[in-house]
Amino acid sequence: MSEIRSRKKFNAGEFTLGVHSWLTYIFLYLPMAILVIFSFNKARINAVWTGFTFEWYKVLFNDTALAGALVNSLIVAFISTAIATVIGTLTAIAMYRYKFPGKGLFDSVLYMPIIVPDIVMGISLLSFYVFIRFTLGLVSIIIAHVAFNISFVALVVRARLHGYNKTLDEAAMDLGANPFQTFMKVTLPLILPGVVSAALIAFTLSFDDYLITSFVAGIGSTTLPIKVYSMMKFGVTPEINALSTLILFISMILILISQRLGA
């Protein structure tokens, strides 16, 4: 028996890998596919397909509370990304260029927000705001997002700087460029792809952050993830499916752009 089968030998490694990738596809992409499909479903319940419609997208665009949350999320994401990208990039360059006492310690502290669990960050930020009597609102959210995004930006830009030839900066200065001109005309254009992909990652992280935001958001500063979560208490509606589909679509475009630039 076994001799007959041995024409195609059983390979445990190949088999595991195959099963693994199929499971990945099923559990990761199948739910997404279902979500997208049901966002166009006429039925109110996510169970049976009853026909195609754009109805839920119309409902979505007429929902002012949801629109308000979306605007809040965009404001927070844009401003916190801009600030975090500038500070994170400059930090990465400073860390790359200069040696200073306590650099190792600073390095570890810089990447803390990536390692520390979100819940700990949320609680500590909230206690801090309460301690300094800072009113919770969009500003407190933005500051919190800047705080964790700086680390991610610095990490991504630093990876890009790793292969950077410092002699190019010296060549610019040798030709008469002061440090600022050197940065604008030589360093920045060469690391720009890294900076842009860092900004895209920062934007995504800010846009979909739920946990930290839920601690530091105040009344009237509901962001999209918080709003969606509160809507979910009444079950997954086709409206949420439509919203998720849109976000999925935009995220995919951003990821494609960042991959293009990273290459």
Residues that bind another protein (CB under 8 A): 165, 167-168, 170-178, 181, 185-186, 189-190
**CA separation, residue 165 to residues 96, 99, 177, 180, 194 (Å):** 11, 17, 17, 17, 15
Write down the least CB distance from residue 105 to another protein, Å: 21
Q: 3-class SS at 41?
A: strand
Closest to another protein by CB, 135 vs 165, is 165
Q: Which residue's CB is nearer to another protein, number 44 or number 97? A: 97
**Closest CB to another protein among 6 and 167?**
167
Residue among 116 and 175 whose Cβ is closer to another protein: 175
- For the packed helices 188-207 and 238-262, what is the interaxial angle rounded to 10 degrees? 160
Tell me if 96 sits within 8 A of 161, measured CB to CB.
yes
Report the nearest approach of another protein to the CB of residue 193 (Å): 11
Taking the C-alpha atoms of residue 187 and residue 107, their distance in angstroms, rounded to an integer, is: 21
The two most distant CA atoms of the chain are separated, in Å, by 81
We find the least distance from the C-beta atom of residue 185 to another protein, in angstroms, to be 8
Minimum CB–partner distance for residue 94 and another protein (Å):
18
Q: Cβ 76 to another protein, closest distance in Å?
A: 33
Residue 73, SS3? helix
Looking at beta carbons only, is 123 or 175 nearer to another protein?
175
Q: DSSP secondary-structure letter at 243? A: H
